[in-house]
Structure 1
């Protein structure tokens, strides 16, 4: 019998979602408090699926997904996560899935049959959370292996090449979230590869391996990397830095989307108000308490 964990700080939405899912599943655990839900997981409970809202006080949906991937129980896979939101849709949803590592997304309100079908699909064939990709270009096998072992243990997908020429042939792979360049390379200059990365992988964090200080080879770089690390760097510390950057990028994208949506709503409101004021007849709008809210006279 599948166990479902439903987290939503809106009691009405929580009741509607949980009641709907209880038609198909006996074990539906409800939480309006995300902190309590996280503690429930820390106490050893393992759900088969998590239905998660994004905008919540305390631990929001982005942070909850981050905790699942970075502080979950070692050795156990992250359960599939179905994100529900009334704010995002379409390409917005795809961008969010890529950033937070969820399995599926539903825009609310949604037809009950669609919600039930999506949940059943994830239970029968759990979608792996969208992976985060690291590209490493290094002439040294040992360096690629060292980076891959640590990042892969944290759920990242690592692809390594010995030269820029080999790497640029990887057209079928998803674009990287992190690009690591081991300076110097045998076939191109570091400037050339950094320029290519800025053009072809605009959203990637560029990390340069090799320079030791501000007074060395970096002084001639035209396109500056985001991070420079010396040889023999601590990969554990670097993966923590990359994870923090990844979630900050997700939040930055969300803030931008919210600004765009707010601007659109204000524009629509202004257009409506203009039409409202131009009506030839007197029109009065009341709220649910019979109090006058607007009048065009």
Structure 2
């Protein structure tokens, strides 16, 4: 993915599972391991990881306990957490997102699926690092439009399902809709959505191809594109490859509306967190540049900078 060496922290009380996950993620830089939540917190505080993969059920401190403590720590809260658990229960998945988790993967583990979910989170981390480097080099983009109301673009051809989605998501932001891929692409470029939902089967376009087209648009940089699927198809290898290749940021399942809403809400929260983080980085490097200019002006006047 990058020359940057990512640091992963794998947390699971089962040694065999830790080994399996480590093997599956052998291409993703440094991997450290913890067999308990207590040990994981110690390791995270010693050296901040780029991503934590977390089991939900552990003796003593559970994964949910760990996530709650992590997100309450100002130094560790920004670390993305992927729950990797045998509990395939919508209520627990919603709880994980409520606590600030970035994703939720169920066992038994599938290598393509796990790598795809990890790749999605690390890609976001790399984007922040690249933008920080641009700021450091003196390339300052205008501030992001975080003050605008949240817009959710739903690209869905079925009017009944569209109505259900609008009812489900209306309290998360203003819902804008499109019935075809062509219309969806046009509205995405003009409505500045916070997040885009794409139906996998559209009358004029393949959902994954439309996701790819949306991802290529510079104006949509940083806008999560979420692919919506039917039932068990949401775990199909093709959809995981869409994540692996960066065509989508998440795969949503129509069969679990409450989980779908939780994932959309999480995507919106992630956008705001990234905007806030990039704004802080931008202001830091602007302050550094201004300080350097003051030093240059003093030098030009023959004074010695402090």
TM-score of the two chains, using structure 2 as the length reference: 0.44
Larger radius of gyration: 1
By percentage of residues, which structure has more helix? 2
TM-score of the two chains, using structure 1 as the length reference: 0.45
By percentage of residues, which structure has more strand? 1
Greater RCO (CA < 8 Å, at least 6 residues apart): 2
